[in-house]
Amino acid sequence: MKTKALGLMVFLLLFGSQGWTQEKAQDRRKFLDPKTPVSDDPRRTVVKPGPRGPEGTVVLRNGRIFDGTGAPAREGTLVIERNKVVKILLPSSNEWPKDAHVVDVSGKTVLPGLIDLHTHLTYPLNQEDIGVAMNDADATLRAVEKLRYFIESGITSVRDVGSKGDVTFRLKVWVAENRIAGPRVFPAGAFITGEGGHSTENTPDEIIGLMGATRLASGPDDWRQAVREQFHKGADVIKLGSHFSAEEVKAAVTEAHELGLKVTVDAETFYIQRAVEAGADTIEHPLPRSEETIQLMAKKGVAADPTLIPYQIIFEEWGGYFGSTSRRFTFSKEANLEMLKRLRKAGIKCGVGTDLILHWYRYMPGPYIRELKNFVEAGWSVPEALVAATKTNAEILDMDDRLGTLQPGKLADVLVVDGRPDENLDDLAKVDLVIRDGYEVVEGGHLAVPRHTAEKPWKSASAPAEMKSAVQH
């Protein structure tokens, strides 16, 4: 027995913090041939082969390239064909097609599009706005307006972690088809929690149902069913929230992983421990947890989306977080910053999200920049904070094979700012150009909506004879 115990101790010492990574259930993705074209989302649905994005080549000439990989900014020219980055050239090179659209970005910085890991696109604008909050049409219009604020702030992807009904699923499609301007939308669908859990406090069940952003679940089988429902609707990620039993969160996480989706959890105190033990991929918010839980997150490779900024707004505008049974603990701006420092010290991967409820999206891009400054105050350098906003966020999204860095083969989600944001984060507010999926959606800092292209009338001279006959009769 002593020999076995000694052997176990040696194993833990050698591999405990480095070799123990989060165990994931196997989904069907491993059966995909890498050459098979799939959707540009974590679902990896097989799609028809063929070109994507707009026709032609876009050249961003003579800018400062901050590619998001961690390398320092350098002078260069970025070349985009349709919706892909194809190469980064030296400033002296002009290796691109003669008919390319060339944009001179001298003196400006070219970087990957920013990503926001925590949004609620359909949430109402104020606490008294319950009537229109329950209206699908108004919820959709609110979401469209928010998309404009995000894309004009240089954010080319948002992860929505709880919104009304099918709104975000439809917005995802419309943005992908370039029918409305906005960032890519990676929706979770409904926020899954237990009766009386976070987002249900002091709210009648009838109102929760009408709001349509929360799915109440009870028991392991129902939590598993709730995950399946979001997957059925088109979820790119699953969002869970405390409270839950150990068996419930384990059932939900296992089901999501077997369906090929990551799981993020809004939890606190011992519920974080349960979520980490169950195999969750990310923990939201800077809420209290034990040092044991932090170390377990590090050992199992569980990421964090700290979201300090919404609590800073709450403390400054409301004076505190009141009336919530899921926030029955004392916390403050100082405690939240200390939690971020502890996560960094433990080596936990941290991403950037804003969680801007109510009308707070109208403060953009200020809240996003301030969240990056929170990272800097917690020990990140300015370039490291930008990497967290791009490369690390893409990893947490399960999209790092396509987003987060400016490298050949990656999707063309690109931000151009008039300044040096890798030296001064405030320069992120000086958005000049935003390219999403190869489309120039922001020019000169505001939406660039081209005139529609008229389709050929179906009653034209080229219409088939039988169609003409049908029209005549």
Decide if pLDDT at 20 tops 90. Answer: no
Q: Are residues 315 and 245 in the same domain?
A: yes
Can you give the pLDDT at residue 66? 98
Can you give the pLDDT at residue 449? 87
Q: Please give the share of the chain, as a percent, with pLDDT higher than 70.
A: 88
Can you give the pLDDT at residue 471? 41
Tell me, yes or no, whether 37 lies in a domain. Answer: no
Decide if pLDDT at 178 tops 70. Answer: yes
Predicted confidence (pLDDT) per residue in 70-89, tens digit? 999 999 999 999 999 999 99
Tell me, yes or no, whether 72 lies in a domain. Answer: yes
Decide if pLDDT at 194 tops 90. Answer: yes
DSSP E strands, 267-317: 282-284, 303-305
Tell me, yes or no, whether 18 lies in a domain. Answer: no
Q: Are residues 353 and 456 in the same domain?
A: no
pLDDT band at 211 (very low <50, low <70, confident <90, very high): low
Q: Are residues 196 and 285 in the same domain?
A: yes
pLDDT band at 320 (very low <50, low <70, confident <90, very high): confident
Tell me, yes or no, whether 473 lies in a domain. Answer: yes
Neighbours of 209 (CB within 10 A): 12
Decide if pLDDT at 16 tops 70. Answer: no
Tell me, yes or no, whether 327 lies in a domain. Answer: yes
Of 196 and 204, the structure prediction assigns the larger pLDDT to: 196
Average pLDDT over residues 417-438: 98
pLDDT band at 14 (very low <50, low <70, confident <90, very high): very low
Strands 191-193 and 155-160: unpaired
Question: In whole angstroms, how far apart are CA 244 and each of 163, 218, 289?
Answer: 20, 8, 16
Can you give the pLDDT at residue 30? 84
Can you give the pLDDT at residue 23? 52
Q: Are residues 442 and 308 in the same domain?
A: no
Domain count along the chain: 2
Q: Are residues 234 and 298 in the same domain?
A: yes
**Residue after which a domain boundary falls, among 349, 383, 403:** 403
Decide if pLDDT at 19 tops 50. Answer: no
State the number of CA atoms in the 13 A half-sphere of 395 facing the CB. 19
Q: Are residues 151 and 243 in the same domain?
A: yes
DSSP codes, 170-189:
HHHHHHHTTSS-S-EEEE--
Considering only CA atoms, which of 278, 281, 280, 276 is closest in space to residue 291? 276
Tell me, yes or no, whether 186 lies in a domain. Answer: yes
Can you give the pLDDT at residue 132? 74
Question: Which range marks the domain in which residue 94 is found?
Answer: 51-112+406-473
Average pLDDT over residues 251-260: 96
Can you give the pLDDT at residue 174? 98
Q: Are residues 387 and 457 in the same domain?
A: no
pLDDT band at 460 (very low <50, low <70, confident <90, very high): low
Name the least confident of 102-111, 151-160, 208-217, 464-473.
Answer: 464-473
Q: Are residues 256 and 317 in the same domain?
A: yes
CATH code, 174: 3.20.20.140
CA angle at 424 for the pair 314 and 342, rounded to the nearest 5°:
50
Tell me, yes or no, whether 25 lies in a domain. Answer: no
Considering only CA atoms, which of 151, 153, 118, 109 is closest in space to residue 382? 109
State the number of CA atoms in the 13 A half-sphere of 432 facing the CB. 18
Contact between 442 and 413 under an 8 Å Cβ cutoff? The reply is no
Predicted confidence (pLDDT) per residue in 290-302, tens digit? 999 999 999 999 9
CA dihedral 174, 177, 183, 185 (to 10 degrees): 60
Contact between 324 and 196 under an 8 Å Cβ cutoff? The reply is no
Q: Are residues 294 and 440 in the same domain?
A: no
Decide if pLDDT at 305 tops 60. Answer: yes
Q: Are residues 420 and 375 in the same domain?
A: no
Q: Are residues 390 and 458 in the same domain?
A: no
Give the chain's mean pLDDT.
90
Q: What predicted TM-score, i.e. pTM, was given to this entire model?
A: 0.91
Can you give the pLDDT at residue 468? 46
Can you give the pLDDT at residue 402? 98
Can you give the pLDDT at residue 473? 44
**Residue after which a domain boundary falls, among 354, 382, 403:** 403
Can you give the pLDDT at residue 287? 96
Predicted confidence (pLDDT) per residue in 215-244, tens digit? 999 999 999 999 999 999 999 999 999 999
CATH code, 424: 2.30.40.10
Average pLDDT over residues 198-227: 83
Decide if pLDDT at 450 tops 60. Answer: yes
pLDDT band at 459 (very low <50, low <70, confident <90, very high): low
CA distance 199 to 103: 46
Strands 414-417 and 109-112: antiparallel
Contact between 249 and 278 under an 8 Å Cβ cutoff? The reply is yes
Q: Are residues 397 and 432 in the same domain?
A: no
**Residue after which a domain boundary falls, among 355, 375, 403:** 403
Tell me, yes or no, whether 286 lies in a domain. Answer: yes
How close are the terminal C-alpha atoms of the chain, in Å? 94
